[in-house]
């Protein structure tokens, strides 16, 4: 198994020994015996116990050989890796730890894949590796969606079984077809299902489909899929299903409603009515009901979007009652996503 990615090692700063201050006595004129003797200020001598020969510091769990191995293999393509899975997983881990590297390293990654992914089996394996990372690693769903979008436009292989985007959507469909059972499953099953839901939401926002005339659109099949996923979540209104639905709508609600309105569809009103029914009838917690009501308020304010013609150029706590619903999603040390609107989160 390839080593996991880690951040570059941080070298300890050169040791500094603070010199003692001057111990010379200040010159004070003799004014008689009644004058007190001047005090001598002596700076404490601080001696570092660090040795210049001390080894470099590495955080716990950091693999100091990874950066060297990845960089050298990266420059030489896939030389040094025994399998495609090792190379791809190393890059995914690297991207997870250092998402800022996406812009500078994605082009080389795609070029390397074009030299390696030359069979249907290899393409299927690549899709599965990215899918698993995006649905199992907290906070990677957005980066995974961006990666999928880039590869869908830059991988040259297009076998009869389908190109990268087609195989990715087929993989998502496999999970999608089990939505009703997953929403009613045990806690572990629902947690995995929720990760899939949020990844699909990110795909809908980030996966660009280029038309024959060069126009860029979103995948309509994902739009329809998100509607069905909302139905599955609301059909089993336990707390964590409802929280997932709130996160999905906070992420995509404005885009979904715009798309439905363009088609003359009333789907968002139906979703909001469903939420209001849940608040009235479901046995969910008070905190979750409060989240649902805040979401209804968010939608009533046009999803927190402030028009350019308004006297305010951006949303603030003063001009937008749903300001705190517009905050991004963060993650706890246990990898649990939360926002200021979530239960248990203290607000100023």
Residue with tokens 């707390």: 239
Give the start-to-end residue ranges of the domains of the chain.
64-279
On the question of pLDDT at 153 being above 70, the answer is: yes
Sort strands 337-338 and 216-218 into parallel, antiparallel or unpaired.
Answer: unpaired
Specify the pLDDT at position 348: 40
- Each residue's pLDDT tens digit, 184-204: 999 999 999 999 999 999 999
Specify the pLDDT at position 330: 56
- Each residue's pLDDT tens digit, 77-132: 556 778 999 999 999 999 999 999 999 999 999 999 999 999 999 999 999 999 99
Q: Name the DSSP class of 185.
A: S
Q: Could you tell me what percent of the chain has a pLDDT over 90?
A: 57
Specify the pLDDT at position 321: 47
Specify the pLDDT at position 331: 55
Specify the pLDDT at position 318: 52
CATH of 64-279, one of 3.90.1150.10, 3.40.50.720, 1.25.40.180, 2.70.150.10: 1.25.40.180
Confidence band for 212, pLDDT divided at 50, 70 and 90: confident
Specify the pLDDT at position 40: 54
- Each residue's pLDDT tens digit, 171-186: 999 999 999 999 999 9
Specify the pLDDT at position 10: 43
On the question of pLDDT at 4 being above 60, the answer is: no
Residue 253, classed as helix, strand or coil, is helix
Mean pLDDT of all residues belonging to the chain: 78
Q: How do the residues of the chain divide into helix, strand and coil, expressed in percent and rounded to 5?
A: 55, 5, 40
- Each residue's pLDDT tens digit, 230-252: 999 999 999 999 999 999 999 99
| HSE of 21, CA atoms in CB hemisphere, 13 A | 6
Confidence band for 142, pLDDT divided at 50, 70 and 90: very high
Sort strands 208-210 and 337-338 into parallel, antiparallel or unpaired.
Answer: unpaired
Q: Could you tell me what percent of the chain has a pLDDT over 70?
A: 65
Specify the pLDDT at position 39: 55
């Amino acid at each position: 198994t390839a080593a996991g990615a880690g951040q570059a090692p941080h070298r300890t700063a050169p040791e500094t020994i603070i010199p003692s201050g001057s111990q010379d006595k200040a010159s004070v004129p003799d004014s008689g015996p009644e004058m007190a003797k001047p005090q001598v200020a002596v700076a404490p001598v601080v001696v570092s116990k660090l040795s210049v020969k001390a080894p470099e510091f590495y955080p716990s769990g950091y693999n100091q050989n990874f950066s060297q191995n990845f960089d050298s293999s990266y420059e030489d393509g896939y030389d040094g890796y025994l399998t495609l899975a090792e190379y791809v997983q190393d890059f995914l881990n690297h991207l997870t730890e250092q998402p800022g590297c996406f812009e500078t390293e994605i082009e080389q990654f795609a070029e390397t894949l074009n030299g390696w992914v030359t069979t249907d089996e290899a393409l299927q394996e690549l899709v599965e590796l990215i899918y698993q990372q995006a649905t199992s690693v907290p906070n990677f769903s957005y980066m995974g969606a961006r990666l999928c979008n880039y590869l869908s436009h830059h991988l040259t292989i297009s076998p009869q079984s389908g190109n990268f985007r087609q195989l990715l959507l087929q993989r998502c469909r496999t999970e999608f077809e089990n939505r009703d059972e997953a929403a009613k499953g045990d806690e572990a099953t629902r947690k995995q299902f929720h990760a899939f839901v949020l990844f699909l939401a990110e795909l809908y926002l980030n996966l660009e489909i280029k038309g024959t005339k060069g126009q860029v659109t979103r995948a309509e099949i994902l739009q329809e899929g998100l509607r069905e996923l909302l139905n599955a979540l609301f059909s089993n209104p336990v707390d964590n299903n409802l929280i997932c639905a709130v996160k999905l709508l906070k992420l995509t609600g404005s885009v979904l409603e715009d798309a439905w309105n363009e088609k003359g569809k009333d789907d968002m009103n139906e979703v909001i009515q469903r939420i209001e029914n849940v608040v009235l009838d479901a046995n969910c917690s008070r905190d979750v009901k409060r989240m649902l009501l805040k979401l209804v308020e968010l939608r009533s304010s046009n999803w927190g979007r402030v028009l350019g013609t308004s006297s305010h150029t951006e949303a603030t706590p003063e001009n937008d009652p749903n300001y705190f619903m517009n905050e991004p999603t963060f993650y706890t040390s246990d990898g649990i996503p939360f926002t200021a609107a979530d239960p248990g989160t203290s607000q100023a």
